[in-house]
Amino acid sequence: MLTACSQPALVQRAEPLLNFSTRLLGATATEAMLRHSVFAHFVAGEDEADIAPVISRLRAHGVGGILDYAAEAELDESGAAEHAVPNLPDVNQPSRTYPYEGEAKCEANKRIFLSAVRAVKATSPDGFAAVKVTALGDPALLERVSTAVLELRAFFDRLGGTRHEADGRLTIRREAFVRGWCEAFHADESESEREFERLGGDVASATIDVLDFTNRLSLDEIGPLVARCRSQGPLYRSALTAEECDALHATMARLDVVASLATSVGVRLMIDAEQSYLQPAIAHATLRLQRTHNVDYPAIFSTHQAYLVGCAEALALDVERARREGWHLGVKLVRGAYMLHERERARRLGRPDPIHPTAEATHASYDAAIDALLLAPPCPTRTSLMIATHNQASVERAARLLRQPRRPHGESAGDGVEVGADVGVGVSVGGGEPCQPASRVPHTQVYFGQLLGMADHLTFHLAAHGLNAYKYLPYGPVAEVVPYLLRRAHENADALSNASTQRNMMLREAWRRMTGL
């Protein structure tokens, strides 16, 4: 399977080949071939009964599970709507995840996610479940809400203010806020004064900052608020109709039900990141869940994509919110999966590319995020991080930070000391590297995640050395998981292209077991 998936020509033509096979051999025969090949390698099973033995085998080696119901509907012309980018091969359309098929389908997806949470509780009590918000509502609606969120932030920026060097906070004076609010919305001065206080304005200092402003606004309020705009610009046009407000309430209610069940049974829930133009609404919804459910432990994990130019700023805002409000911060850090789509969409719309220009810049962004969360979190005991990557350098770097003993300030380990060789995953991670500071976050609050069927040399080595290692376990009916498999093949093309390294490791291990050498 690794050999097949490492062939770019085969991966690019996978969907037409599957369609041809279905026409030639029929759906039943094609599904049977998939079930005993690529499905068996990358998917945990079709249902909870199939998943249980997979999780048991992983747990025997100290590896946990992240359950994700991976059934994805194929996008056709009616389902793609405005999210599909013209002139891109359909297989590269990451928005094929959950096309909106009506409220009944969203309710069905909610029940599936509830089943996934129960399956985690039954088979992997220390595991995670993953949720996509676009499965629970209309992506087009989330995009409109995201536009409103971004326009409100832009409105705040236009008011002017003072950027504090110590912590980067942007604050606005009360009089500037009131004046700008009166100019932007149908409101008199007294109403604007009340909005200043309602949205977190500090009466004593007569200032308001961006965190207070965004913290107090719920997604439900944004629609009615922007409908009061004086000018019919982008913010006004993002106003939701009454029907859309009802649909948004229903989406948030479904998310609340899943999160409440997860919290009640002690399962941690990861809210997946999606396309950048949907992410502001998803992040806003995730923040609301974290405030509610992360009081005692990090039940809800947000997801940050390091390939986005704004990753560092978004992560810093989440860290500061958690510190101010006193809840546990849970973060899953990924590199990102929608690069081709994001760049083509930005080009078509004449907007700046939201993705870092090079792979090296993305790697630097990822490592900087790890440093920010492990080395300098404001509340180490309330910070938890899932390092979800197949990049060996990033994994080794994080493992080194976690396993290195902390030293008194100013004391050095000295040059030439292997500071983490005991957690090496195939290569030395010490040997003369400058000594780095150790993580302030306990290693018990840091997790590593890789996809089932990939990077086993990372996952099992981490688990063998006492670190929290997890496999991302997709499951679902064969026919419905095919779009997921196609999307993953394209998202992880770089990792799969290095499959020869993993194959060689497997062959050496097979030879060792057969010969004892």
User: How far apart, in whole angstroms, are the C-alpha atoms of residue 505 and residue 517?
Assistant: 14
Across residues 416-426, what is the average pLDDT? 37
pLDDT digits (tens, 9 = 90+) for 307-346: 999 999 899 989 988 998 899 999 999 998 778 788 888 8
> What's the whole-model pTM score?
0.84
Residue 434 in this model has a pLDDT that exceeds 70: no
pLDDT digits (tens, 9 = 90+) for 338-397: 787 888 888 998 989 999 999 999 999 999 999 999 998 889 999 999 999 999 999 999
Which residues fall within 8 angstroms of residue 428, CB to CB, at 6 or more apart? 418, 421
Residue 401, in any domain of the structure? yes
Residue 155, in any domain of the structure? no
pLDDT digits (tens, 9 = 90+) for 82-134: 433 333 333 323 333 455 778 998 999 999 899 889 988 988 878 899 999 99
Per-position DSSP letters for 88-116, written without gaps between them = S-GGG-GGGS-----HHHHHHHHHHHHHH
DSSP 200: T
Residue 74, in any domain of the structure? yes
Token reading at 3? 């050999």
User: How far apart, in whole angstroms, are the C-alpha atoms of residue 199 and residue 179?
Assistant: 15
Burial of 202 (C-beta count, 10 Å sphere; 0-12/13-18/19+): middle
| Of the listed ranges 195-199, 269-273, 412-416, 469-473, the one predicted with least confidence | 412-416
- 429 or 224, greater pLDDT: 224
What pLDDT sits at residue 99? 58
Measured from the Cβ of residue 119, the count of other Cβ atoms closer than 10 Å reads 24
pLDDT confidence tier of residue 216, bands split at 50, 70 and 90: confident
Residue 90, in any domain of the structure? yes
Q: Which long-range contacts (CB under 8 A, 24 or more apart) does 163-171 make?
A: 167/320, 168/316, 169/209, 169/210, 169/211, 169/320, 170/209, 170/210, 171/207, 171/208, 171/209
Number of Cα atoms under 13 Å in the Cβ half of residue 360: 0
pLDDT digits (tens, 9 = 90+) for 476-491: 888 888 877 876 666 6
The three-state secondary structure class of 227 is: coil
Indicate which CATH number applies to the domain containing 440: 3.20.20.220
Residue 297 in this model has a pLDDT that exceeds 90: yes
Residue 431, in any domain of the structure? yes
The structure tokens 């376990």 sit at 473
Strand partners, 446: 385
Measured from the Cβ of residue 400, the count of other Cβ atoms closer than 10 Å reads 23
Residue 192 in this model has a pLDDT that exceeds 50: yes
Q: Where are the beta strands (DSSP E) in 125-246?
A: 128-131, 162-163, 170-173, 207-209
**How many domains would you assign to the chain?**
1
User: How far apart, in whole angstroms, are the C-alpha atoms of residue 451 and residue 42?
Assistant: 8
Domain span holding position 505: 2-138+241-515
User: How far apart, in whole angstroms, are the C-alpha atoms of residue 122 and residue 93?
Assistant: 35
pLDDT digits (tens, 9 = 90+) for 132-149: 999 999 998 998 888 888
pLDDT digits (tens, 9 = 90+) for 16-49: 888 899 899 998 999 899 999 889 989 999 887 8
User: How far apart, in whole angstroms, are the C-alpha atoms of residue 366 and residue 250?
Assistant: 35
Strand partners, 476: none
Q: Where are the beta strands (DSSP E) in 353-467?
A: 383-388, 446-451
Sheet holding 162-163, edge to edge: 162-163, 170-173, 207-209
Residue 299, in any domain of the structure? yes
Token reading at 194? 């009340």
Across residues 225-253, what is the average pLDDT? 84
The three-state secondary structure class of 342 is: helix
DSSP 70: -
Residue 187, in any domain of the structure? no
Token reading at 385? 């991080």
Cα distances from 5 to residues 2, 48, 490, 508, in angstroms, run: 5, 27, 10, 21
Q: Is the dihedral of CA 25, 27, 28, 33 positive or negative?
A: positive
Phi-psi region of 167 (alpha: psi -120 to 50; beta: other; left: phi over 0): alpha
Residue 248, in any domain of the structure? yes
Residue 304 in this model has a pLDDT that exceeds 50: yes
